[in-house]
Amino acid sequence: MLSTEILTDLLPAKILGKSLFIFEEINSSNTFALELARKDNQQGTVVLTDSQTAGRGRLQRSWFSPPGANIYGSLIFSCNTSPLILGWIPLMAGLAIAQAIENATNVNISLKWPNDILIHERKVGGILCESFKRNQGETCVVIGFGINVNLPESTLPNEIKEIATSLQIHANQPLDRHHLLKFIIPAVEEGWETLMTQGPKSCQLAYHPRCSTIGQQILVEFPDGRTQEGIAVSIGEQGQLQILPLPSSPLGESDKILNVHAGDIRHIKSSSNTQDKN
């Protein structure tokens, strides 16, 4: 089980980690963190759990959460900022965690817009950011993250074996979760501080080369059920994905850039004409 004593010693005494909750099992670290934040200003709180009974990702998808093997966490921040900045928070978190994992393990990490953490196009982790406004206008943001750490290939459920992976599989050995968190939590805090003080340009240049979505032929599934195929060409100033629709586009002219602010993205593998459903 994750140790409060070990993590207290490992984490730098900045904002994150001043208040630390570690559970053996909980329904969802994000659910607990949101409830905590609504009761009081819990800026800097870190919530970690060994197992989740109702872990979830984007679009209310469930998250495979076996006990004692992975990292499931939520970080509470408060800010007074614009929608322009808020749109970049999930991307910033993904970038910070990807860089931290690489520094801790030497395993190459890429990102799929907006919040999937990948190794060779297979999902090793994800980000779920949730926020609400306080009465005084301040925004509370909970950055939730799940990372598959010590899952041997044989333990992955059949339905996700082709699209998911773990750090242990690529590092060829089990990894110390405390050691990973020592890199991850300060990296997210540093990314947050930089984004709040310097704006989106601070992570936009670093995000582009790490994002495996850019340059890909993709299929977008919008929240209202519409779909759109196109080529992902860039990330916009609000963190939106910019795509060039294919000539058969039902949403407009094929030479007009389409901005995608929300939706499910599938990388289309041109070599086999199959889709990566990470």
Question: Dihedral through CA 80, CA 35, CA 27, CA 221, nearest 10?
Answer: -40
Segment 34-40 shows an average pLDDT of 91
Where in the chain are the domains? Answer: 4-210, 217-276
Over 60: is that where the pLDDT of 253 sits? no
Task: Round to whole Å and give the CA distance between 175 and 70.
Answer: 10
Which residue has 């059920």 as its token pair? Answer: 225
C-alpha 199/C-alpha 276 separation (Å) is 32
Q: What is the mean pLDDT of residues 59-63?
A: 51
What was the pLDDT predicted at 276?
Answer: 39
Q: Tell me: pLDDT of 73 over 80.
A: yes
Distance CA 262, CA 87 (A): 10
- Dihedrals phi, psi of 204, to nearest 5 degrees: -65, -45
Q: Per-residue pLDDT tens for 106-148?
A: 999 999 999 899 999 999 999 999 999 987 788 999 999 999 9
For residue 274, pLDDT beyond 70: no
Query: How far apart (Å, rounded) are the C-alpha atoms in residues 190 and 193?
Result: 5
Distance CA 159, CA 176 (A): 27
Backbone angles phi, psi at 192, to 5 degrees: -60, -50
- As a whole number of angstroms, the distance between CA 209 and CA 81 comes to 26
56-70, 172-186, 235-249, range with greatest mean pLDDT: 172-186
Q: What is the pLDDT confidence band of residue 62, given thresholds at 50, 70 and 90?
A: low
pLDDT beyond 80 at 8: yes
Rounded (to 5) percent helix, strand, coil in the chain: 30, 30, 40
> Quick check: helix, strand or coil at residue 120?
coil
**Which is more confident, 138 or 177?**
177
User: Does residue 158 surpass a pLDDT of 90?
Assistant: no
The pLDDT value recorded for residue 191 is: 95
Look at residue 13 in the predicted model and tell me its pLDDT. Answer: 66
What residue type is 170 in one-letter code? Answer: H
Q: What are the DSSP calls for 47-79, one per residue?
A: EEES-BSS-B-GGG-B----TTTSEEEEEEEEE
- For the CA atoms of 252, 254, 257, 262, the dihedral, rounded to the nearest 10 degrees, stands at 60
193 pLDDT higher than 50: yes
Look at phi and psi of residue 128 and say left if phi exceeds 0, alpha if psi is from -120 to 50, else beta: beta
Task: Return the CATH fold of 4-210.
Answer: BirA Bifunctional Protein; domain 2 (3.30.930)
Give me the pLDDT at residue 40, please. 80
Please tell me the CATH code under which domain 217-276 is placed.
Answer: 2.30.30
